[in-house]
Amino acid sequence: MDIEKEKGDSLEKEEEVKRVSVIEIFKFASKIDTILICIGLIASFVMGAVFPAMIIFYGKVMNTFVQYEISRLLFISNETLVNATATSNTTAPYVDVFYDEVRECCLAFTGLAACGFVISYIMVLCLSYAAKNQTQRIRLKFFESVLKQDMA
């Protein structure tokens, strides 16, 4: 009975493998990899700020549409409709303001989308390149340690 217990204890001791923390993985990172990781993390933080900025501009567009509709209804109610078939080239003053505000928000959306594309590309490029370099170093160290072991 004791012999089986001792064998079980020795197997449990052999199965215990030291776990590697995330920070210990960075010992395989070079200075360039560390810089690339920092750039990638900063780019991801900036990319995280792009979406709330888009929501803010979306709110401005919605406010512009609401103000346009309110102004349009007020302008129509103040007009006297004498001849419905007569057309006039005069536009209400609120239409130009509406177009300007919507155009401004569309340009902001376009700029944010372009910045988001470039920033996300930089983020993925930096983090992927650093990960590839570290993985290559870890595999090389593992291969070297396997070659140093005895054949038996």
* Neighbour-count burial for 116-147, b at 16+ CB within 10 Å, e otherwise: beebeebbeebbeebeebbeeeeeeeeeeeee
Packed helices 31-78 and 93-148: angle between N→C axes, nearest 10 degrees? 160
DSSP class of residue 152 equals -
Structural domains in the chain (count): 1
Residues 6 or more apart whose Cβ sits within 8 Å of residue 10: none
- Confirm whether 51 is domain-assigned: yes
- Confirm whether 13 is domain-assigned: no
- Confirm whether 97 is domain-assigned: yes
> 8 to each of 3, 4, 14, 17, how far by Cα in Å?
9, 6, 10, 16
- Confirm whether 70 is domain-assigned: yes
pLDDT tens-digit profile of 101-147? Answer: 889 999 999 999 999 999 999 999 999 999 999 999 989 999 999 98
Q: Would you say the pTM of this structure is higher than 0.85? A: no
Listing DSSP states for 17-37 in one string gives -PPPPHHHHGGG--HHHHHHH
**Taking all residues of the chain, what is their mean pLDDT, rounded to a whole number?**
82
Once rounded to an integer, what is the mean pLDDT over residues 6-31? 73
- Confirm whether 62 is domain-assigned: yes
- Confirm whether 130 is domain-assigned: yes
Domain of 130 in residue numbering reads as: 34-78+92-137
Six token digits for residue 124: 């993925």
For 11-15, 29-33, 35-39, 54-58, which range has the lowest pLDDT when averaged over its residues?
Answer: 11-15
Count CB neighbours of 92 within 10 A. 16
Distance, CA of 31 to CA of 34 (rounded, Å)? 5
